[in-house]
Structure 1
Amino acid sequence: MTAHPTGTREEWLAARLALLVEEKALTRRSDELARKRQALPWVKIDKDYRFDTEQGVATLADLFGGRSQLLVYHFMFGPDYRAGCPSCSNIADGFEGFVAHLAQHDVSLLAVSRAPLARLLEYRQRMGWTFPWASSHGTAFNYDFNVSFTEAQQRSGELEYNFRQEGRAVGQSPAPAAVVETAACCGTDVPTFSRDRPGMSSFVRDGDAIYHCYSTYARGLDVLWGLFQWLDRAPLGRNELGNWWRRHDEYDD
């Protein structure tokens, strides 16, 4: 363990109270951002998206499950993956328990991925999850919400993720070791793995109309990744080199 300052209880309390002032300011700022997030203009959905679900073919309206609000986690599980992304799996471990609570607050939460439904459900069973999972296989849904990309987009580097143009074609430089490792544990190569990205999007129903309200990607998902919220409060913080986490059934102990 690295050397760390020590002190008396009185010194700790003084430092903690000073930090509390900053934490309260951050909380108020977070509340303000939440209000601004909810004030974003809604964009009407004009496409007739179709999904494969356990109940059969479903429309986007069907995914609401009779509620007025819908939260979609864009889970990285492409058609050629043999298993879901371990990072997305870690996030899903966290939100698995929220589904029932959100349903009591007029909000449906589910995951959507491009892999065929049977493969998604098989993986869900392996992970011990119960949240609804829909397949957008063969549809434009993932592409329209900038979480999936074509091979042509990859080759040209003309793809948009996290509200900016990537500007670099896959293969122009070696992929980071963590990406190579993660692609391999999903049973695929880096270009195939990278055609899907993580994100979340929210939608609302107003009568028969459906509107897209919000999307976030990349580090914008940090606050939804419960593991790191706990680690940020642990004595050594994230304290990480590379992707140390695994699917919950893959740890040695």
Structure 2
Amino acid sequence: MTKHKTGTRGEWLDARLKLLADEKEHTRRGDALAERRQQLPWVRIDKEYRFDTPQGSVTLKDLFKGRSQLMIYHFMYGEDYTAGCPSCSSIADSFNGIVVHLENHDVAFTAVSRASIGKLQAFKERMGWSFDWASSAPGDFNSDFNVYFTEDQQRAGIDYNYRTEPGLRSWEDGGGPVDHLSAMSGVDSLAYMRDRPGVSAFALQDGHVYHTYSGYSRGVDGIWGMYAWLDRAPKGRNEDGVWWRHHDQYGRK
């Protein structure tokens, strides 16, 4: 017998309608936030960033592929990793299906990581992904957009997600979720956390590239597809630590 509260269909509908009013307010609030993102001032990028791709070395402007907008997912995959971050990987599992729609709405898309293009291509093949994935290894794109930090920066304290983190935070002590994620990525927790996730948006206008938006940490939750479903499931996220895996690792010990 269920331990959850039960009721009649009428009682359910009454509670559902009350929830609906709050859901509608949440939606309106989300629409307002989206408008505020679009109203942020654009910052012109004069620095020339280069990326390695299967087609060769390209510039940030080249990543637009003739479109006026570019979305980049900052995928945690450092050169020392033996596999992509499992959290980023679970997010990326939804990219194949959306890219065609973005590209036909004047929006280019690519993931960007520090690992070499060879490592990215091998992992991409393993995962069965088809979206574009570029390596920022030739330059300091990841550092400039606050998704990569050196060991010295990490020890001194880093600025990530628009706030300052103290040096050598709790993951050095071990035993937390970061340990599980770093192990699945093939590195220790400190090396794992030198790379960070994020999403950045860019515009191309009159031949110039502009940075328009970046979100980090839980700011990427909105594109983490499985959570939108779990938030509507009977038991919600129902989490006790890290439960997700690379999708080809479920069922393995």
Q: TM-score range by the shorter chain?
A: over 0.9
Structure 1: state its 5+ residue gaps.
none
**Structure 1: distance between partners of 2:134 and 2:175:** 30
**Structure 2: distance between partners of 1:27 and 1:171:** 35
Superposed CA offset, 1:208-245 (max 9, x none): 11000000011111111010000000000000100100
- Equivalent residue number for residue 235 of structure 2: 236
Counterpart secondary structure, 1:17: helix
Query: How much has 1:194 moved relative to structure 2?
Result: 0.9
**Structure 2: distance between partners of 1:236 and 1:171:** 29
Aligned 8 A contact 2:76 2:113 in 1 = yes
Aligned pairs, how many? 252
- Equivalent residue number for residue 129 of structure 1: 129
| Within-5 A mapping of 1:209-220 | 209-220=208-219
Aligned 8 A contact 1:170 1:191 in 2 = no
**Structure 1: distance between partners of 2:135 and 2:163:** 26
- Equivalent residue number for residue 80 of structure 1: 80
Query: How much has 1:148 moved relative to structure 2?
Result: 0.4
Counterpart secondary structure, 2:234: coil
- Equivalent residue number for residue 174 of structure 2: 175
Query: How much has 1:4 moved relative to structure 2?
Result: 1.2
After superposition, the CA RMSD in angstroms is 1.4
Query: How much has 1:169 moved relative to structure 2?
Result: 2.4
**Structure 2: distance between partners of 1:170 and 1:30:** 32
Query: How much has 1:95 moved relative to structure 2?
Result: 2.0
Counterpart secondary structure, 1:242: coil
**Structure 2: distance between partners of 1:20 and 1:70:** 34
Query: How much has 1:74 moved relative to structure 2?
Result: 0.2
| Within-5 A mapping of 1:23-34 | 23-34=23-34
| Within-5 A mapping of 1:147-166 | 147-157=147-157, 159-166=158-165
2:198 corresponds to which letter in structure 1?
G
Counterpart secondary structure, 1:108: strand
- Equivalent residue number for residue 184 of structure 1: 183
Superposed CA offset, 1:153-211 (max 9, x none): 01212x11100011232578513422112111111111111110000000000011100
**Structure 2: distance between partners of 1:173 and 1:185:** 17
1:65 corresponds to which letter in structure 2?
K
| Within-5 A mapping of 1:1-253 | 3-157=3-157, 159-170=158-169, 174-252=173-251
Q: Which region of structure 1 is more displaced relative to structure 2, 176-185 or 46-55?
A: 176-185
**Structure 2: distance between partners of 1:216 and 1:179:** 20
1:31 corresponds to which letter in structure 2?
D
The list of structure 1 runs, each at least 4 consecutive aligned residues, that deviate by more than 2 angstroms after superposition, is 168-173
**Structure 2: distance between partners of 1:104 and 1:143:** 31
Aligned 8 A contact 1:51 1:59 in 2 = yes
2:39 corresponds to which letter in structure 1?
A
Call closer, same or farther: CA 1:39–1:176 in 2, change over 3 Å. farther
- Identity over the aligned pairs, expressed in percent? 57
**Structure 2: distance between partners of 1:166 and 1:177:** 17
**Structure 2: distance between partners of 1:226 and 1:112:** 19
**Structure 2: distance between partners of 1:175 and 1:25:** 41
